Amino acid sequence: MALAFDEYGRPFIILREQESKSRLRGLDAQKSNIAAGVAVSRILRTSLGPKGMDKMLQSPDGDITITNDGATILEQMDVDNQIGKLMVELSRSQDYEIGDGTTGVVVMAGALLEQAERLLERGIHPIRVAEGFEISSRIAVDHLEQIAHKFDFSATNIEPLVQTCMTTLSSKIVNRCKRSLAEIAVKGVMAVADLERKDVNLDLIKVEGKVGGKLEDTELIYGIIVDKDMSHPQMPKQIEDAKIAILTCPFEPPKPKTKHKVDIDTVEKFQTLREQEKKYFDDMVQRCKDVGATLVICQWGFDDEANHLLMHRNLPAVRWVGGVELELIAIATGGRIVPRFQELTPEKLGKAGLVREKAFGTTKDRMLYIEHCANSKAVTVFIRGGNKMMIEETKRSIHDALCVARNLIRNNSIVYGGGAAEISCSIAVEAAADKYPGVEQYAIRAFADALDSVPMALAENSGLQPIETVSAVKAQQIKENNPCCGIDCNDAGTNDMREQNVFETLIGKQQQILLATQVVKMILKIDDVISPSEY
């Protein structure tokens, strides 16, 4: 390390405690970063595709997660390496943006890094490699646009949407009932979708799970389910044509925010205070009753006395309902959330056709169903399954399926799955490479090779000969000029993905390529890693 000296021959301290910090520079830094990125992607590689395997993760508290979802695996993996963390971020941003393809994006990035390493060894400057990748990613994205198909669906014809969701679900453990789950997801999305604006607010779809029962019992409920029961055991368990008061204030004497003290020093004061207290409760309940509410849903708790008064006045109530659920109830029932009793008016009440309490199994578990709401724009997917891990995994899978359906409503272009899109892109990029003068050409070719790695992994996971299968499919694509040929993972006997009905969304694929390229570019540009020593 070159050191600068001052006039007395003492070295300038540039990095504090220089000796105790480990530092990697130049090619070494790039190589070690690449190795880390590749290691992460290798973990996910086996999870890709319909025959991909799951990972079992044990959290620091000993809880078990079994999942196939790339983003979840990486998030819970306890990665310590900085580059590893970048890959985690990459998968997460794909999850936020698209919701699906979180495994694919990491595998893609890993493949790009592997290719980049080879180029670096040949002495090509990292920036040139990065630029080459950038150019090719643009070619690939444009090419995807060309091979994409528009497909038509409407509120009545949801079959194409269901097919696409089934592709997403087929790689998960729930693929046993992918058909019914895909239908649930699509119907749920269609219920809340704004087809005019082509937008879907996924917050309106609540995914609730309860252990027990079987996966086939999973259902879509046009309404809300709250994991709560009535505050008083003797309140009615079923209310028809409910008018719901949605409150965020507790049934308790008010607690002013400013500090104050009420001093009791005489008997009279003691008694007035008591009277006052009683009046508070009475007023609160009376006010709810006056506006015509037949059900009170409250974010906070009730005092015993208030509880009894509610029961007494025949006003069922639910307490300790979470903020998010409260909002959903408000949306579904068309009511307004009321922060103070004084502001309660009949117009602000929500309406629901049926509110009922349902008991499960042999324990005390009860849930509250709010159905036939005034505004059916909020739905709940209610998942049942054999054990906790299964429910959690199903939740994640449903989330993915919901995201896919949403993306299709936003943009109805699709490309073909099963690696067909990647192979087609790879051919296009390869062909384009020769047109570029200069070193970038090599990078572009490398990019084309990296694109092959996704179908390669798919074939590998499905127990096929990876190299043979991919090259055969590639040849077929070129010969027939048909971008729908992919890997036949399910042994269906054909590799035309159009026949197998394996679709993926265009934006999902484009996003995968763009995000992976970006991260790789970032990693390639790092030439100095300074890490603090062990402490």
Partner 1 sequence: MAVERLFKDEATEEKGERARMASFVGAMAIADLVKTTLGPKGMDKILQSTGRGHSVTVTNDGATILKSLHIDNPAAKVLIDISKVQDDEVGDGTTSVVVLAGELLREAEKLVATKIHPMTIISGYRMAADCARSALLERVMDNKEDAEKFRSDLMKIAMTTLSSKILSQDKEHFATLAVDAVMRLKGSTNLESIQIIKKAGGSLKDSFLDEGFILDKKIGLGQPKRIENANILVANTAMDTDKVKIYGARVRVDSMAKVAQIEGAEKEKMREKVQKIIGHGINCFVNRQLIYNFPEELFADAGILAIEHADFDGIERLALVTGGEIASTFDNPESVKLGHCKLIEEIMIGEDKLIHFSGVEMGQACTIVLRGASFHVLDEAERSLHDALCVLSQTVNDSRVLLGGGWPEMVMAKAVDELARKTPGKKSHAIDAFSRALLAIPTTIADNAGLDSAELIAQLRAEHHKENSNAGIDVITGSVGDMGELGISEAFKVKQAVLLSATEAAEMILRVDEIITCAPRRREDRM
Catalytic residue numbers read 69, 102-103, 400
Least Å distance, CB 268 to partner 1, is 9
Contact 167, 504 (CB under 8 A): yes
Q: Specify the residue, 213 or 334, whose C-beta has the smaller distance to partner 1.
A: 213
Considering only residues 13, 15, 127, 273, which one is a binding residue for partner 1 as defined by CB under 8 A?
273
Query: Residue type at 432?
Result: A
Q: How far is the CB of 107 from partner 1 (least distance, A)?
A: 15
Backbone angles phi, psi at 181, to 5 degrees: -65, -40
Q: Which amino acid is at 179?
A: R
Q: How many residues does the chain have?
A: 535
Least distance CB 137 / partner 1 (angstroms): 26
Q: Is 91 in the site for partner 1 (CB under 8 A)?
A: no
* 5-13, 78-86, 442-450, 514-522 -> range binding partner 1 (CB under 8 A): 78-86
Would you call 365 exposed, middle or buried from its count of C-beta atoms within 10 A (0-12, 13-18, 19+)? middle
**What residue type is assigned to position 378 of the chain?**
A
Minimum CB distance to partner 1, residue 466 (Å): 15
In the range 406-465, which residues lie near partner 1 by CB under 8 A?
463
Per CB under 8 A, does 307 bind partner 1? yes
The interface region with partner 1, picked from 50-58, 315-323, 326-334, 499-507 by CB under 8 A, is 50-58
The answer to whether residue 358 forms part of the interface with partner 1 (CB under 8 A) is no
Cα 478 from Cα 426, distance rounded (Å): 11
- The CA distances from residue 101 to 93, 106, 463, 511, 529, in Å, are 11, 9, 21, 9, 30
Instruction: Write out the two tokens for 350.
Output: 């929500």
Provide, rounded to whole angstroms, the least separation between the CB of residue 260 and partner 1: 5
Report how far residue 203's alpha carbon sits from residue 187's, in angstroms, rounded to the nearest whole number. Answer: 15
Among the listed residues 156, 157, 234, 481, the single contact to partner 1 using CB under 8 A: 234
Subset of residues 363 to 382 that bind partner 1, contact rule: CB under 8 A? 363-365
From CA 461, how far away is CA 450, in angstroms rounded? 17
Choosing from 36, 166, 330, 487, the residue that interacts with partner 1 (CB under 8 A) is 36
Q: Pick the binder of partner 1 from 10, 16, 261, 479 (CB under 8 A).
A: 261
- Torsion, CA 278, CA 282, CA 284, CA 289, rounded to 10: 170
Written in H, E and C, the secondary structure of 104-153 is HHHHHHHHHHHHHHHHHHCCCCHHHHHHHHHHHHHHHHHHHHHHCEECCC
Taking CB under 8 A as the rule, does residue 39 contact partner 1?
A: yes
Does residue 195 interact with partner 1 by CB under 8 A?
A: no
Nearest distance in Å: CB 269, partner 1? 9
**Per CB under 8 A, 532 contacts partner 1:** no
Least distance (Å) between residue 54 CB and partner 1: 4
Interface residue with partner 1, options 118, 176, 198, 340 (CB under 8 A): 176
Location of structure tokens 């006056």: 290
In the beta sheet, which residues pair with residue 206? 380
Question: Tokens at residue 93, please?
Answer: 């941003």
Q: Does 327 bind partner 1 (CB under 8 A)?
A: no
Interface region with partner 1, contact rule CB under 8 A, candidates 10-18, 47-55, 104-112, 494-502: 47-55
Distance CA 291, CA 350 (A): 12
Report how far apart the first and last C-alpha atoms of the chain are (Å, whole number).
23
**Contact status: 533 vs partner 1 (CB under 8 A):** no
- Measured from the CB of residue 42, what is the shortest distance to partner 1 in angstroms? 10
Residue 33 or 407 with smaller CB distance to partner 1: 33
Q: According to CB under 8 A, which one of 23, 198, 274, 525 is a site residue for partner 1?
A: 274
Distance CA 506, CA 511 (A): 8
Could you say whether residue 301 binds partner 1 (CB under 8 A)?
Answer: no
- Supply the minimum distance, in Å, between the C-beta of residue 92 and partner 1: 17
Residue 373: which of 268, 209, 223, 180 has the closest Cα? Answer: 223
Q: Which residue in 3, 13, 264, 467 binds partner 1 (CB under 8 A)?
A: 264
User: For residue 260, how many other CB atoms are within 10 A of its CB?
Assistant: 7
- What part of residues 5-34 is at the interface with partner 1 (CB under 8 A)? 28, 31-32
- Nearest one of 356, 400, 366, 360 to 381, comparing CA atoms: 400
For residue 249, give Cα distances in angstroms to 203, 252, 253, 287, 370: 24, 8, 10, 13, 21
The site for partner 1, by CB under 8 A, has a size of: 87
Element at 88 (helix H, strand E) = helix 82-97
Of the candidates 86, 113, 381, 389, which one interacts with partner 1 according to CB under 8 A?
A: 389
Q: Is 78 in the site for partner 1 (CB under 8 A)?
A: yes
Is residue 483 within the footprint of partner 1 (CB under 8 A)?
A: no
Q: Is 122 in the site for partner 1 (CB under 8 A)?
A: no
Q: Is residue 66 at the binding interface for partner 1, with CB under 8 A as the rule? A: yes
At residue 104, what is the residue type?
Answer: G
Q: Per the structure block, which two tokens stand in for 141?
A: 């994205």
249 near partner 1 (CB under 8 A): no
Q: Closer to partner 1 at the Cβ: 154 or 258?
A: 258
Under rule CB under 8 A, residue 399 binds partner 1: no
- Which of 202, 211, 249, 522 is close enough to bind partner 1 by CB under 8 A? 211
